[in-house]
Structure 1
Amino acid sequence: MTNIQRVAMLSLHTSPLEQPGSGDAGGMNVYVRSMALELAKTGIDVEIFTRAHAEDQAETEELAPGVIVRHVPAGPRQKVAKERLPELHDSLVDAVHAIQKHLSDEHFDVVHSHYWVSGIAGLRLAKTWKLPLVHTMHTMGKVKNLRAPAYGSVEPAIRIKGEQKIVDGATRLIANTRREAGELATHYGAPSGSIDIIPPGVNLEIFHPAPVDRASLDVSQNAFHLVFAGRIQRLKGPQILIEAAARLAKSRPDIPLKISILGSVSGAEELQLEPLVQSHGLHNTVSLHPAVQPATLATWLRSADVVVMPSFSESFGLVALEAQACGTPVLAANVGGLPQAVSHGRTGLLVDGHDPALWAAELEKLYDDAGLRQTLANGAAIHARAFGWNRTAMLTAQSYRNAVEDFGSPSH
């Protein structure tokens, strides 16, 4: 069996040290950080390369024994929109290569890039270092553009071309779900034999059922409490939840509705929720909160009767998994990886489309049927137990071994 000892992991556009739910940080940040920590527990050292974006950042930071984050100097030491990062590809590649050259006699066994910005850099670094490249898309430009008319943001041609180069040049691709694997094949022509399907995990030590004092969150005990957690952008659909709540407030004023939205504005097209909340007269119903740390997020998820995810696109939907691990049912859009994260009718409900009227109707059904909510809650906690990060790390390590063997084969 091929022995994997060290991995160069590229997360150039966003750091695993960032707070999920703010800026460009989201499920991918949780993914990179959590998987690196689990890989280290199996004996695989991981060095994560991410762009330095602040003057006071140390060159390196140890997350845990075997996991080092290296801040790569490229461009200004400040936040840069990920849409501008392709301009920095040359300097990012040169800086990562320069760091690698100074790591004495140490070498990597494989390069693992995350998201297309890192994938382009990964192609060049893997070629220079004569190593296999494993790539995880997380999201795909062509798939997002299929739904772009609904939320008004189109991915640029440079991304589409870049993703095609990555698919054509990577040794192996990791997809979160079967649906994502199918999209890689359909839209980019990826050979099915080069794709490993590996679902993300959830930190079961943090996200698990437990009693919660709603009063500590300023939520009344009798409220029908809905929680949305994620970046505040149209792609994630918090505006759909607010529109659905407005309909529900008019048609069912007897429902003691309370909505908590956790997250920060993100993306090139900023979505401001406060004016929308005010225009519908929901200022006493909807509370907007900044992104929170995982332990606090778990408390919010436990406090919810339902966690709502009206996303237009999700490669998997880690928040759905975290909510279910807390024993909370999820109402989610039937898109991307959410049908795998949420078992319809067993752990939550899936909604076809983004018509606020549909979402209002589903929320009304969940409010009226407390027995259904309890059944879904029980199933949710059981379902989530199968998604520990240790399993994700073990399958990823096997993907690395496959990549090394493929890379060394005569047909490569």
Structure 2
Amino acid sequence: MRIALVSMHTSPTEIPGSGDAGGMNVVVAEAARALSARGHEVVVATRARADLPAGVTRLAWSGRAAAGQDPLSPVVAVLPAGDPELAKGELPGVVEQFAAELRALGRFDAVHGHYWLSALAAQRAWGGSAPVVTTFHTLAAQKNALLAAGDRPEPAVRLNAEAALAHSSFVVAGSESELAGVNAFYGTPALGSAVVHPGVDTALFAPRSGGAGSAAPLRVTVLGRVQPLKGQDLAVRAAAELAIADPGLFARTEWVIAGEPTPGAADYAAELRRLAERAGIAARVRFLPAQSREQAAALLASSALVLVPSHSETFGLTALEAGASGAPVIAAGHTGLLEAVPDGVAGVHLSGRDPVAWAGAIADLLRDEPRRAQLAASARRHAELHDWAAHAAALERIYATLAG
């Protein structure tokens, strides 16, 4: 098949944790590679920006993904649409222009829009000739229902577009939670739906031999875009509570927040540093930039614990990657994290946002090395059940059915 994966507002070539790049970028890139490995011609379409000029390139294969294979790399088509400096909130105004550029790419057997802007543009480009598959990644109505303090609710234009797409395209959800949200907020998708979990590269994201040693600090990591939705402030507050409750244990820890603020979240990122300073713990809290895939894998594998304090997650790919790396996860017990981090298997769920409770759960696991080792082993086994080849095979079946 000739397959179009549309990612209008962000490119799969970007580093997750920078700008608007996150788990969706990983899903699009890995799905493109895995579909290509199955013999399909894959074109990933994204919008040109000042830092991403228009043109055509290829989504390079890593040595891991291409081991024993020589597939054709997916094409990345960077299409001009509006001023390259447009902010994300202004992109609805150039959907029609982007759709015209999509049409110029020719006919496709399968069209998959990632995020509502992409699906809307794909429908306007090819809706009359091919059924469009939509993956929302972050569901606006669900996000608004679980909105973080200080975060802006998603606008009506997005809510209305998602509702329309739910009834005019085939919906692929990243988790049972996301699909339940679609059904609850927008109604049952008229053209059908399916849950296709993301995969994980278990060769790259893997436990590392020769641990850090008993003298090394116990690393507690939060990895991802810095924004109110991801709730990094809860991790800093929990660190402060642990410093009060058990100064000796806290002195053995190192807290890492890795990622860059999304556009509009610079004040939130600055407040995280101020929180650490006011609590007197800034010396033990490190702020790192966005991590490459290789850097992220090394960071997770070196962590005693990984925290995912998000207000909501479509799935929680970072949590799955942490488990593959042998790092137990303490996660907010809701939405897609229920599937990415099975409680008692890949980590521990916490039901509220009380930093004292989070500090207690963190302390319990840091003190209990056998329990951490048990969770690390079972988290790795859980991650091994999630494979990008299986992800692509599930998409292929959906595309073939719709094309038929």
Q: TM-score range by the shorter chain?
A: over 0.9
User: Any residues of structure 2 matched to 1:233-312 within 5 Å, and which?
Assistant: 233-255=227-249, 256-270=252-266, 271-272=268-269, 273-312=272-311
- Which whole-Å CA distance do the structure 2 matches of 1:397 and 1:364 have between them? 45
Pairing partner for 1:199 from 192, 197, 200 = 197
SS in 1 for 2:194: strand
Report the residue type matching 2:241 in the other structure. Answer: R
1:76 aligns with 2:83: yes
Question: 1:310 Cα deviation (Å)?
Answer: 0.2
CA contact (8 A) 1:81 1:268 kept: no
Match of 1:22 in 2: 18
CA contact (8 A) 1:40 1:46 kept: yes
Match of 1:232 in 2: 226
* Alignment CA distance shift 1:390-1:154 (3 Å): same
Question: 1:57 Cα deviation (Å)?
Answer: 2.6
**How high is the sequence identity, in percent, across the aligned residues?**
35
- Which whole-Å CA distance do the structure 2 matches of 1:221 and 1:388 have between them? 36
CA contact (8 A) 1:227 1:304 kept: yes
Match of 1:118 in 2: 118
CA RMSD of aligned residues (A): 1.7
- Which whole-Å CA distance do the structure 1 matches of 2:101 and 2:326 have between them? 45
Question: 1:190 Cα deviation (Å)?
Answer: 2.1
SS in 2 for 1:49: strand
Question: 1:257 Cα deviation (Å)?
Answer: 2.0
Match of 2:69 in 1: none
CA contact (8 A) 1:316 1:336 kept: yes
Question: 1:58 Cα deviation (Å)?
Answer: 5.1
Q: Which moved more, 1:327-336 or 1:54-63?
A: 54-63
Q: Which moved more, 1:186-195 or 1:286-295?
A: 186-195
CA contact (8 A) 1:52 1:77 kept: yes
Pairing partner for 1:177 from 163, 175, 182 = 175
* Alignment CA distance shift 1:82-1:160 (3 Å): same
1:48 aligns with 2:62: no
Match of 1:408 in 2: none
CA contact (8 A) 2:171 2:189 kept: no
* Alignment CA distance shift 1:379-1:151 (3 Å): farther
Question: 1:212 Cα deviation (Å)?
Answer: 5.6
How does the TM-score come out when normalised to structure 2? 0.92
CA contact (8 A) 2:319 2:340 kept: yes
- Which whole-Å CA distance do the structure 2 matches of 1:240 and 1:359 have between them? 8
Match of 2:3 in 1: 7
CA-to-partner distance for each residue in 1:302-361, whole Å, 9 max, x for gaps? 111001100001101111111110111011111221110111112200111222122111
- Which whole-Å CA distance do the structure 2 matches of 1:246 and 1:153 have between them? 27
- Which whole-Å CA distance do the structure 1 matches of 2:315 and 2:224 have between them? 13
Question: 1:278 Cα deviation (Å)?
Answer: 1.2
SS in 2 for 1:77: coil
CA contact (8 A) 1:22 1:265 kept: yes
CA contact (8 A) 2:331 2:348 kept: yes
How does the TM-score come out when normalised to structure 1? 0.90
* Alignment CA distance shift 1:364-1:269 (3 Å): same
SS in 1 for 2:401: helix
- Which whole-Å CA distance do the structure 2 matches of 1:349 and 1:192 have between them? 36
Q: Which moved more, 1:118-127 or 1:266-275?
A: 266-275
Match of 2:68 in 1: none
Question: 1:66 Cα deviation (Å)?
Answer: 4.2
CA-to-partner distance for each residue in 1:3-24, whole Å, 9 max, x for gaps? xx11111100000011100000
1:339 aligns with 2:338: yes
1:138 aligns with 2:137: yes
CA contact (8 A) 1:249 1:257 kept: no
SS in 1 for 2:127: helix
- Which whole-Å CA distance do the structure 2 matches of 1:262 and 1:376 have between them? 23
Report the residue type matching 1:114 in the other structure. Answer: H
* Alignment CA distance shift 1:6-1:262 (3 Å): same
CA-to-partner distance for each residue in 1:356-391, whole Å, 9 max, x for gaps? 122111111112222211110111111111111011
Report the residue type matching 2:98 in the other structure. Answer: L
User: Any residues of structure 2 matched to 1:311-330 within 5 Å, and which?
Assistant: 311-330=310-329
CA-to-partner distance for each residue in 1:227-266, whole Å, 9 max, x for gaps? 1100000100111000010011011101112101110011
CA-to-partner distance for each residue in 1:195-245, whole Å, 9 max, x for gaps? 111100001121111226649xxxx83422101100000100111000010
- Which whole-Å CA distance do the structure 2 matches of 1:23 and 1:287 have between them? 20
Match of 2:67 in 1: none
- Which whole-Å CA distance do the structure 2 matches of 1:212 and 1:184 have between them? 45
Count of residue correspondences: 388
Unaligned runs of 5+ in 2: 61-71
Report the residue type matching 2:194 in the other structure. Answer: D
